[in-house]
Amino acid sequence: MAEISLKKSSLATYRVEFPVTKKFIYLDHAAVAPLSKRVKDTVEKFLTEATESAFFKYSYWMDRVEEIRGNCAELVGSEKEEIAFIKNTSHGISLVAEGLDWREGDNVMVFEKEFPSNIYPWLNLERRGVKVKFIPARGNMIHMDDIEKMIDTNTRLLSISSVQFSNGFRVDLERLGELCRRKKVLLFVDAIQSLGMVPMNVRELGIDFLASDGHKWLLGPEGAGIFYCRHELAELLKPSLIGWKSVVNENDYDHIDFRLKTNSLKFEEGSLNVMGIMALGAAVDLLLEVGIDRISERILDLGDIIFEESEKRGLEMKSPMDRKYRAGINSIMGKFDPIGVKDRLRALGILVNVRSGAIRVAPHFYNTEDEILRFFSELDKLM
């Protein structure tokens, strides 16, 4: 069996943070993750303060929001002012799709098997004369050569998921960033399937824009996410929504002074989802405390066990075996009905999912080897 990183004593401490483990084996973090106790406690504390103190606590809340902004910047390797809080990944993608000064004849490149949130905002630009070019799938992978051949003088932007939702293929962002810089193409990364388990540094990787909701690998709630816009591009990107917080003097309510902020904060047009941001902040604190490098190693180690056990049973893995091209998603196919297996496992308290005809197993760092083996033991009975 593969060696597992993260000491058992540390794992036990953090596992207590996730009460879902008392009743269930939760292997579906690529969909909607369970919340930790500290996230729950943070929300309850906020509700108590909002009930008992309300606006008396507002300055404290805003200070905490800015602290969380800084922690999110640390998570992606950016400056604090390059981070805006958004409601979901689609929101972040749409900020760029609707905010760039597109010219008729421009084209955008996306992978043909992307999650729909990374396709529809770009297709919506066809009304403005922008063409969408689809990068073909090569088996379970995306080939860099295909991307380079498809880029032409009209290619304005490439938008891609850091990890593909269906089979867990992890794109080589270092090579892709270098290619986009060389070809003078903007790079947008949908990071929802990697942020929280894959180390990320937007500056080193040459990423221009990034978006991620918090409810998957970040272990936060739905409806609270982050958007990164490289500082040098912030003025180029025009906000599609305007409100009182979009402008420089946001707290001067008596004088209208329509000067937009020059950083990512201009995309926070109105009152924030403070409770959601507080919850996201608690989740990010937990991840930074454990360490993204340690989390990544452990999740990949659990993936190695999934590969080993699948191989023993003659099952087909749709995810890449090479750890360089794999993240937290492990997709398994065999001589079974995946939907039926998923439903029967759920009845047993084991949560997995199905994407593209395969069982998708997505453990997080607090999952155990025994939980993986229990999944396979029950799968054996269903095949």
Residues in the chain: 383
pLDDT of res. 123? 98
Q: 225-229 and 358-361 as β-strands: parallel, antiparallel, unpaired?
A: unpaired
Q: Fold identical between 8-35+291-382 and 43-289?
A: no
**Residue among 226, 140, 242, 130 nearest 186 (CA):** 130
Which are the contacts of 37, defined by CB distance < 8 A and separation ≥ 6? 16, 17, 18, 19
* Span between the terminal Cα atoms of the chain, in Å: 23
Tokens representing 148? 């380079």
**Residue-wise pLDDT tens for the chain (383 aa)?**
344 456 766 888 999 999 999 999 999 999 999 999 999 999 999 999 999 999 999 999 999 999 999 999 999 999 999 999 999 999 999 999 999 999 999 999 999 999 999 999 999 999 999 999 999 998 878 999 999 999 999 999 999 999 999 999 999 999 999 999 999 999 999 999 999 999 999 999 999 999 999 999 999 999 999 999 999 999 999 999 999 999 999 999 999 999 999 999 999 999 999 999 999 999 999 999 999 999 999 999 999 999 999 999 999 999 999 999 999 999 999 999 999 999 999 999 999 999 999 999 999 999 999 999 999 999 999 98
Helical ranges in the chain per DSSP H: 8-15, 37-52, 58-76, 89-99, 120-123, 144-150, 173-183, 202-205, 274-290, 292-312, 338-347, 369-382
Which are the contacts of 327, defined by CB distance < 8 A and separation ≥ 6? 162, 163, 168, 170, 193, 194, 197, 198, 299, 300
CA distance 281 to 345: 32
Domain boundaries, the chain: 8-35+291-382, 43-289
Tell me: domain 43-289, CATH 3.30.70.980, correct?
no
pLDDT of res. 139? 83
Q: Specify the pTM.
A: 0.95
CA distance 8 to 29: 21
- What would the 3-class secondary structure string for 234-267 be? CCCCCCCCCCHHHECCCCCCCCCCCCECCCHHHH
Instruction: Name the amino acid, one letter, at 208.
Output: D
What letters, b where the CB count within 10 A reaches 16 and e where it falls short, cover 7-30?
A: eeeebeebeebbeebeebbbbbbb
**Residue among 257, 205, 203 nearest 232 (CA):** 203
**Distances from the Cα of 113 to the Cα of 32, 121, 164, angstroms:** 20, 15, 8
pLDDT of res. 2? 41
Q: What is the DSSP string of 291-354?
A: -HHHHHHHHHHHHHHHHHHHHHTTPEE-S-SSGGGB-S-EEEE-SS-HHHHHHHHHHTTEE-EE
**Residue among 88, 94, 141 nearest 113 (CA):** 141
CATH topology of domain 8-35+291-382: Aspartate Aminotransferase, domain 1 (3.90.1150)
Contact between 207 and 201 under an 8 Å Cβ cutoff? The reply is no
Contact between 175 and 144 under an 8 Å Cβ cutoff? The reply is yes
Q: Angle at which helices 274-290 and 292-312 pack, to 10 degrees?
A: 80
